[in-house]
Amino acid sequence: MEKIGITILPLTQEVLNFAMGFEKLKFEDTIHYATMKLNSIDTILSNDSDFSKVDV
pLDDT in tens, the chain (56 residues): 778 988 899 999 999 999 998 889 999 999 999 999 999 999 888 898 888 888 88
Contacts of 34 (CB under 8 A, 6+ apart): 15, 16, 18, 19, 22
Nearest to 40 by CA among 12, 9, 16: 9
Q: Which pLDDT belongs to residue 25?
A: 92
Q: The whole model's pTM is what?
A: 0.82
Nearest to 39 by CA among 21, 20, 56: 56
Q: Which pLDDT belongs to residue 17?
A: 95
Q: Which pLDDT belongs to residue 37?
A: 94
Domain boundaries, the chain: 2-53
24-31, long-range: CB < 8 A, 24+ apart: 24/53, 24/54, 25/50, 25/51, 25/53, 25/54, 26/50
Q: Which pLDDT belongs to residue 2?
A: 77
